[in-house]
Amino acid sequence: MPSAQLPRAVFAMDPVHLPLLFPPPLVARLRQVAEIDPAFVVRDFADPAAASPLAAAEILITGWGCPHLDADILRATPRLRTVLHAAGSVRSLVGEALWGRGVTVSSAVIGNAVPVAEYTLAMILLAGKNAFVHRERFRRTHAQPTPAETATTGNLGRRIGVIGASRVGRRLLALLRPYDFEVLLHDPYVDAAEAAELGARLFSLEDLLRHSDIVSLHAPDIPGTRHMLDRARLALIRDGGVLINTSRGALVDHSALTDELVSGRLHAVLDVTEPEPLPASSPLYRLPNVFLTPHIAGSLGNELERLGRIVVEEVERLAEGLPLGHEVRQADLDRVA
């Protein structure tokens, strides 16, 4: 295909992410189906040097660090017809101006769901073995645990409550299938038959919290889910229960959760918090019943290439006249994470 016939594309993100998202072999594939300068990355759409490339751009390949695509940016990109996001959710990236202009949007969120679900599975298995509790005890005593201290340890028959059949939630449900777990699911968009197909039983949110040993959050961050786990709902989780949050900190009332954790009644694995990061004075850094990580569940390091590959495959589909494989529609945003 002659170069003149290739659609013009521009990278728009923090340039620090580009080498891992698009290593040389992927860039070579991309340049077979799009006219793009891999050395030119837009982060500031008001930069005069970006005006000409943006004016010609038909495809924006966005990522972390790209600003919200508002009306001013859309005026600077009059030929724009497709946004391909080499990251997860597009909720903070796109808005009414873009939807109103009919620009198609694709996200690599399905690729980002893979490491999040893998991380969550690992934490579920470790939590079921009471690994965090035993580690803290071992550090203090340097002694093997007694039978009494391991009486509640083990993954056989654990009840795992999954909140949200999002892309991450569904990937996690698939990963849970080989294990001897009882899986509970809450999602307002899923019925009992679909839950069964996913390997779970459908529960109300309150009943899931009451009956689960380990609760894992995978709901989208929208106004209706803010603090969905408030003080009253956290109180429903059984004594010694574990809350895992790899979704968004805003889904949990942080003050109420902190009180539960400081009391020692609950345990938590928190990859996300509100705020993020927590202030240095937060007791969660020091509590033995809290496993706190700095938002590492999503794609990092060599996992970023998976996201870039999804984007390149989308451009290849466009070149063949095929519909996008991972198109995101405005109506989807209330139910995906």
Which of 158, 167, 218, 248 is flagged as catalytic? 248
pLDDT of 4 over the 60 cut:
no
- For the beta sheet containing 82-85, the strands, ordered from the edge strand earlier in sequence to the opposite edge, are 41-42, 9-12, 59-62, 82-85, 104-107
Assign 27 a pLDDT band (cuts: 50, 70, 90): very high
- Residue 99's SS3 state is helix
Q: Which of 171, 125, 135 shows the shortest CA–CA distance to 298?
A: 171
CB atoms within 10 A of CB 85: 28
pLDDT digits (tens, 9 = 90+) for 54-74: 999 999 999 999 999 999 999
Q: Please confirm, yes or no, whether 8 is among the known catalytic residues.
A: no
pLDDT at residue 1, as a whole number: 41
- Contact present, 241 and 267 (Cβ < 8 Å): yes
Q: Please confirm, yes or no, whether 248 is among the known catalytic residues.
A: yes
- Residue 68's SS3 state is coil
Which of 96, 206, 276, 327 is flagged as catalytic? 276
- Contact present, 45 and 76 (Cβ < 8 Å): yes
pLDDT at residue 186, as a whole number: 98
pLDDT of 336 over the 70 cut:
no
pLDDT at residue 98, as a whole number: 92
pLDDT of 179 over the 70 cut:
yes
- Can you say whether residue 295 is alpha, beta or left, with left for phi > 0 and alpha for psi between -120 and 50 degrees? left
pLDDT digits (tens, 9 = 90+) for 110-148: 999 999 999 999 999 999 999 999 999 999 999 999 999
Which of 295, 306, 317, 335 is flagged as catalytic? 295
Beta bridge partners of 215: 161, 243
pLDDT at residue 3, as a whole number: 45
User: What is the rounded distance in angstroms from the CA atom of residue 227 to the CA atom of residue 239?
Assistant: 21
Q: Please confirm, yes or no, whether 233 is among the known catalytic residues.
A: no
Dihedrals phi, psi of 262, to nearest 5 degrees: -65, -35
pLDDT at residue 334, as a whole number: 61
Query: Which has more pLDDT, 334 or 283?
Result: 283
